[in-house]
Structure 1
């Protein structure tokens, strides 16, 4: 009798594991199902359920085989890829090299893209289909990061090379090789999926999966607590503590590929939103002096930001990417909090009485973004810089921060390395702005240093991984000695799930139904 009771209890405990359906709530909205339309993390995260890539990234963004089982540089300007045999699309057609070629041709063709994936295919000058399972990609110059770039390109069936974004959104063209088949998409609400029984990889645990878009964290958490969903992303630090104390919930986190930092206008001779203490324009832009930029960094107490404001879900930053990623310099450490040294540097730079400035930032883009700006202001005041705060909705802030306005002198910004290595943020933030090459694409403060450009250009031509990593480390060291930005902290990606559901957190923050398994 005792043995029978034990069996019944075990079966009851296992009930969540035996569930056939899964619901995930995500904070960011999906703008399209078309995997080549909008280079947006929320879109890519959903596409991972339906489509595969030649090369995948694991949870820490290291490259692993996907639809390509191997790849190698056969010479300085040619990469060869050997494809996985026996893979089929959801419609039963065989996956072959021609499908990869069609996908790569489609990327720059997609009309009206608000954020093209072309940045990942721009280096390719020729696509050569050697045979159904062998592909060669040629480039005009050495392209050591091409495998990394291709880990962001989803592969579609060649039948849909000229399909419209609408055809993908309504499901007509949404035929991939991924773990789930597309069922439906309701803009701003949800994406519904069904298991691909013929998937070449590990079989998904769920017959059906729903990805719901719930931007409000309180509503997302309520859906988890009620059981309407089983997994959520972007859990605020305070809520994470409460969920972790709940015996029916599990909270997991990992260091992300994201950093928050302050941009400073070191480009213009005169800069807006900066005056003397009486409100009069300064004769020169103070941020052109590295001592002033350095003073701002020393004035900021990163430990307070990470421990109190972020409640431990962040770590002080020394550069644009955290330790452990390829290309990160081990010789850089977060600046210490030293208000006395900051005041001394300001005096040496000719500002013994400080000056006044306004720190700008978004108020709905990054976790606690407005609170971060508000916390920094009194830190600057303590060293003699009279700091005010101005925060705006992201849609307003981003149009004013960059060209043609460049409306801010000091402002909060963020960066995520989608490639999982240092060249991506270094190219975006530290390279001199060059629209033809795409360098400096997010360098809204227009920082420029010829030596940074020279070493970074050399790194981007270097195929040898060890040599390229040393060059990327050198770029970071030069830029940070120049105080190109003021790094604040690296964020953690925090997820929560109900007991019975296990999810391994990723540094890129992506979550898909195939990544959730029963315990």
Structure 2
């Protein structure tokens, strides 16, 4: 994500220097970090579905894992690459990356992190069974590993791979001794929960809370809190009530109807930042008969209209994104026709947000052979994203006006994700954050044809497949020149969006609130980290 225009040997040298400079800056932050004994309770909006940090590539899981486990490379609050457990790195040749691991980093059991653990942790995601969204999309490019010594490891790819650093921000390091032979379900009982992160695991109560204590031996900035409780309160009003009553000291995702009250309350602090998460719609584009597509009177249809790109674009044209922003989101969303915001690599400025035009949408439906419309069910989570079910209800009203009689069925994210991953829905709303800090993340996960060997389509719940998009994407993933790679990623994005592979709605603005006396550094990746809350 840095030095995008430096090529060749000069680029390699510059990357090394930049890695060293970033390390120096990170160490400076460590020295300045205050330490204060206290307890902190945070209300989170969505519970994890698994405590295994390699089981399911889901935001609510990652957000909890990051407290206990570390990655080799990290992202700063603006989604820029910085050193993590790897203190430096360099390209030895076009296909060999060498990483130096920090010396003296301790696991929570007191033993030292070594490159043997790193090699094991990078192998483990591919071994996970029955995952709805595997992490091996971030390790597929690595064809071999070479442990040079206790603190040096080389990762070899089959071809030049510019996304190595970005991918490694998403793979948590787990201890080989603690996790070998465990099932993913074992982690919920506390087995394997030994990391190198800022907090040590204490207990987990499903759908209720995770309890943590400060790791006094943490290699990075020391957390300000002795004990942290992550409480999971999906209902926005209840979450805010917990803050106002003093049951918790911080919350994420402030309810939009209460934003003015929270901003004006002298006893509270408010923080916000535009997210790299896109809220989007996906379609069943594979099956000839889709289970939740019917005639307007609820009868089965002899063919699936969602397979027609003209129908999908008609649906997009019928959505009043600006109305959603103004009336539902209280201005805290950015309507889009892109997969990432303008600040991230690969954003396509030519993809303008579609204007709300129901009459044009009706004509598109008629041209596709559906002048009378049809029936549809829109499935959505109801406890994961800001106003997720209310957004779905508004979209359903928009579609019903053009003749697509749409009803909404919401469910908790854990249930929703399980069924979505099994392709049980015909039409769904969900969100995706560009975890690696650029558009290749949603392209690979959401739009690429499903291919487990390539790690493509891991969250492609609509089973969309466009070989032209995959060809351009694969070329981009092997292109080191950043100018050329950006053009290829923009081209792949245009292919998928203009074909209605998925329909972007908006990038949400993420919000946090705390009691007076506590500050928070808001993040583009929406993460809520206890170690980023500081006493004022």
Paired position in structure 1 for 2:23: none
Structure 1 residue 303, shift from structure 2 partner: 0.5
Structure 1 residue 389, shift from structure 2 partner: 0.9
Aligned mates of 2:290, 2:207 — CA distance in 1: 40
1:465 equivalent in alignment to 2:482: yes
1:415 equivalent in alignment to 2:435: no
Paired position in structure 2 for 1:36: 54
1:446 to 463, 479, 483: 463
Paired position in structure 2 for 1:206: 225
Structure 1 residue 503, shift from structure 2 partner: 0.9
Paired position in structure 1 for 2:491: 474
Over 3 Å counting, the alpha-carbon distance change for 1:478 and 1:115 in structure 2 is closer
Asked if the contact 1:167–1:174 (Cα under 8 Å) also holds between the matched residues in 2, the reply is: no
Structure 1 residue 44, shift from structure 2 partner: 2.4
Paired position in structure 2 for 1:225: 244
Structure 1 residue 135, shift from structure 2 partner: 0.8
Aligned mates of 1:280, 1:211 — CA distance in 2: 46
2:323 to 304, 321, 344: 304
Over 3 Å counting, the alpha-carbon distance change for 1:160 and 1:412 in structure 2 is closer
Say which SS state the counterpart of residue 254 (structure 2) adopts.
coil
Paired position in structure 1 for 2:272: 253
Report the count of equivalent residues.
499
Structure 1 residue 305, shift from structure 2 partner: 0.9
Structure 1 residue 79, shift from structure 2 partner: 1.5
Paired position in structure 1 for 2:87: 69
Structure 1 residue 497, shift from structure 2 partner: 0.8
Paired position in structure 1 for 2:356: 337
Q: TM-score, normalised by structure 1?
A: 0.86
How do 1:269-308 and structure 2 match up within 5 A?
274=293, 285-308=304-327
Aligned mates of 2:458, 2:148 — CA distance in 1: 35
Structure 1 residue 211, shift from structure 2 partner: 2.0
Say which SS state the counterpart of residue 485 (structure 2) adopts.
helix
Deviates more, 1:265-274 or 1:500-509: 265-274
Structure 1 residue 197, shift from structure 2 partner: 2.7
Unaligned runs of 5+ in 2: 1-34
Asked if the contact 2:448–2:469 (Cα under 8 Å) also holds between the matched residues in 1, the reply is: yes
1:102 equivalent in alignment to 2:104: no
Aligned mates of 2:443, 2:430 — CA distance in 1: 14
Aligned mates of 2:386, 2:297 — CA distance in 1: 34
Paired position in structure 2 for 1:316: 335
Aligned mates of 1:399, 1:31 — CA distance in 2: 9
- Per-residue deviation, residues 185-237 of structure 1 (Å, max 9, x unmatched): 34443333332333222222222222223333333222211222111112221
Structure 1 residue 331, shift from structure 2 partner: 1.7
Structure 1 residue 121, shift from structure 2 partner: 2.3
Structure 1 residue 390, shift from structure 2 partner: 3.4
Paired position in structure 1 for 2:215: 196
Aligned mates of 1:249, 1:93 — CA distance in 2: 41
Larger Rg: 1
Unaligned runs of 5+ in 1: 1-16
Paired position in structure 2 for 1:3: none
Deviates more, 1:81-90 or 1:309-318: 81-90
Aligned mates of 1:400, 1:47 — CA distance in 2: 23
Asked if the contact 1:130–1:136 (Cα under 8 Å) also holds between the matched residues in 2, the reply is: yes
Aligned mates of 1:321, 1:370 — CA distance in 2: 22
Over 3 Å counting, the alpha-carbon distance change for 1:290 and 1:43 in structure 2 is closer
Aligned mates of 1:450, 1:37 — CA distance in 2: 28
- Per-residue deviation, residues 472-500 of structure 1 (Å, max 9, x unmatched): 11111122232333321121222111111
1:185 to 182, 204, 221: 204
Paired position in structure 2 for 1:490: 507
C-alpha RMSD of matched pairs (Å): 3.0
Asked if the contact 2:197–2:218 (Cα under 8 Å) also holds between the matched residues in 1, the reply is: yes
Deviates more, 1:59-68 or 1:432-441: 432-441
Aligned mates of 1:79, 1:439 — CA distance in 2: 22
Q: TM-score, normalised by structure 2?
A: 0.83
Say which SS state the counterpart of residue 202 (structure 1) adopts.
coil
Asked if the contact 1:52–1:154 (Cα under 8 Å) also holds between the matched residues in 2, the reply is: yes
How do 1:45-124 and structure 2 match up within 5 A?
45-109=63-127, 116-124=134-142
Say which SS state the counterpart of residue 395 (structure 2) adopts.
helix
Paired position in structure 2 for 1:8: none
